Structure 1
């Protein structure tokens, strides 16, 4: 594929994936963002076999920790992202790939089952996650929200392969919204960013930076996730006060810190790592805190594998804790092309890319993958949002164990039933 012929596919992690290709002739005027076309197939609602769902969740978890290990080496301080959003964005791109490019997606996503079974399992995972929180409360006092949305934004008049559109519709619930990237790239970028902002309750405002959408763009695949949940047992704001937190360099700062004198929770100590699980209202999702000894954060990060994480979860036991936890808010904006290339997806970003199952009208490649994520943790609960654009007691008198989270730590928001890692992050400076 020569540079002059190369068409570009941009992937975004909201999940948002813009694709681009060469157009010919005059382009039609911009279409309204609400104008929809695409497959007429209905979304499949039947569950996937349990073993296929487990395989997809395991693959997503492996991708999550692969990315975390790479991103943590580059992040100066705090880090937060949604591996589940990234997995959905990449998975929607995967059915458009062929040959070595498809194999690269399979390696990066850790696909271990036949492709149709994988997409059906991802469909079931999406369905299960969206079902969480019935009757539960959010941190803002409104009903619990775990919202996931998939969407394909496409160049008006550009032809996509019907089987590709069928997979998006049947397994990801994604239809096609028409825009005119070729004649109006900036208004198109604004329309997509506006859609993302709406789906994430204005927590992700500018997913696609200026310049990511060009006249060569032909499609943007987008996944958006919004999460808002109250703790099962909220912290008392009256007990929050400034406490010392030790930074990576050993210095200390005073930060607003929540506390609970007698919190019934599952916890463990594994090889010096404090592991604490904080459930959300409704009992279907939880935050898992991993607090290594002082100075050992990097060692924990690089040793964290799906098997190791499973060991931490298996070690959890009911305890009574005198817990202190800083309030924190983290916003990350990540360029995922370099880490994904390092993890095996490099061919998709090159002129050797084969996305012929997506469209035969032009040669396509993935020009970028961008991701934004936001999390706010306070006494009431957790609010989190992410977007990806390819261009997650004792009946006797208890012993109360003090756990002071006063040093850098990792945290994971997990779906308890499937084990899906919805969000992953670290806090080094609250």
Structure 2
């Protein structure tokens, strides 16, 4: 496919999770730019249960694919939102045709017809938005799990109507016009500012300097913010410095929380400590996977959807004396090489076909970038993420002690659907 030198498309994907209830924080300002787009309303009908399960399974497979590729190159902490990335790529998918569409289907592990997949993603998005009614966040405000989708476009650029209709009906995204041609840097600043407010100041500068050029034609955005208190908070008075063993076997002292006697669901599976820590409201939890000392690489290599399900299925009620380090992780990731390795390579080259997105110019994906943040402390968890897909031309209970004092994997998981909203590891708290 011939590249056009006169246009570029940036598709930025952020998945934002925010308050399901009220709260004193003011509502975010609307996206910048004049509003146009499809006249179609968002579909609110539920997807068939089998389709929803298939979409969640597809997203989970992508999550673990990306985790293995990213973890192989990372020597330190890692954190990202596979759900944000899945929504971002899924919003780009209806613009792809031919072998490019097939590459999206392979990378996203799509196993059902495309219209059913988008409807299931719509249902998943709306279900995640509904979580946390009446629950608390870490900061005294309500629980927040909020998602937003938005397409920013250059004034005068034309998209295919079916593409815009899919974004409106299944992802709730309209179009905001910005003057990329005459004011690329102010346009970039406006989008970044909107992303920052949607993620409660946690994701800044999603689009780096120079990302928006005079020939940029669009920025497709999806954002995520999460803030939830633990169902049972850790007592700060019990937090003290404890040893944590690093990957090389050396030990450091890190601030470590302690639970005393904590009712929780836990298991031991093939030497791996599996612990589920619920958030207030009981609809999401953090799943901790702690391998034996020196066993992180083996755990990561064997972490398939089937193995993860085995860990979840083994969980049962226990009373734990749990220790867990406080930690904060911020990641900035380039996803183009990992996604190319996972089968999306054609979308990044001259043979890319995004003719279902626009017939005005030949388009390709020039880059995919992702930022994520997580903070875990005695009160609960705060997390945010953003993804940008850049497209250019072309009784007396037995109390068992679990000390999380070595590298571990963790996920923030929605109970009802099984969706992996966030995924990461800690090797140095």
TM-score range, shorter chain: over 0.9
Distance 2:279 2:70 in 1: 27
**Contact map agreement 2:4 2:361 (CA 8 A) in 1:** no
- 2:318 paired residue number: 319
**Contact map agreement 1:69 1:301 (CA 8 A) in 2:** yes
Distance 1:225 1:184 in 2: 27
- 1:363 paired residue number: 362
Structure 1's consecutive aligned runs of 4 or more residues displaced over 3 angstroms after TM superposition are 1-8
- 2:25 paired residue number: none
Distance 2:315 2:6 in 1: 52
- 2:131 paired residue number: 132
- 2:374 paired residue number: 375
Offset, 1:2: 3.7
Mapping 1:188-337, distance limit 5 Å: 188-337=187-336
Distance 2:226 2:3 in 1: 41
Offset, 1:133: 0.2
Partner secondary structure for residue 233 of structure 2? coil
- 2:388 paired residue number: 389
- 2:84 paired residue number: 85
- 1:114 paired residue number: 113
Mapping 1:15-26, distance limit 5 Å: none
Offset, 1:416: 0.2
- Between 1-10 and 185-194, report the one with greater CA deviation: 1-10
Q: 1:15 to 1:266 in 2, by over 3 A?
A: closer
Offset, 1:6: 7.2
The C-alpha deviation readout for 1:264-311, integer Å capped at 9, x for no partner, is 000000011000000000000000000001111011111100000000
Q: 1:337 to 1:6 in 2, by over 3 A?
A: farther
Distance 2:185 2:340 in 1: 27
Offset, 1:15: 5.4
Mapping 1:31-70, distance limit 5 Å: 33-70=32-69
Distance 2:292 2:85 in 1: 30
Is the counterpart of residue 10 in structure 1 residue 3 in structure 2? no
**Contact map agreement 2:3 2:362 (CA 8 A) in 1:** no
- 2:157 paired residue number: 158
Partner secondary structure for residue 294 of structure 2? coil
- Between 176-185 and 311-320, report the one with greater CA deviation: 176-185
Offset, 1:183: 2.1
TM, length-normalised to structure 1? 0.94
**Contact map agreement 1:255 1:326 (CA 8 A) in 2:** yes
Q: 1:378 to 1:10 in 2, by over 3 A?
A: same
- Between 121-130 and 208-217, report the one with greater CA deviation: 208-217
Say how many residue pairs are matched.
411
Where do 5+ consecutive residues of structure 2 fail to align?
Answer: 17-30
Partner secondary structure for residue 56 of structure 1? helix
The C-alpha deviation readout for 1:363-403, integer Å capped at 9, x for no partner, is 11111111100000000000000001112xxxx31110000
**Contact map agreement 2:4 2:362 (CA 8 A) in 1:** no
Partner secondary structure for residue 226 of structure 2? strand
Partner secondary structure for residue 261 of structure 1? coil
Distance 1:294 1:334 in 2: 27
The C-alpha deviation readout for 1:50-91, integer Å capped at 9, x for no partner, is 000000000000000000000001112000000000000000
- 2:19 paired residue number: none
The C-alpha deviation readout for 1:343-365, integer Å capped at 9, x for no partner, is 00011111111000001011111
Offset, 1:4: 5.2
**Contact map agreement 1:15 1:221 (CA 8 A) in 2:** no
TM, length-normalised to structure 2? 0.94
Where do 5+ consecutive residues of structure 1 fail to align?
Answer: 17-31
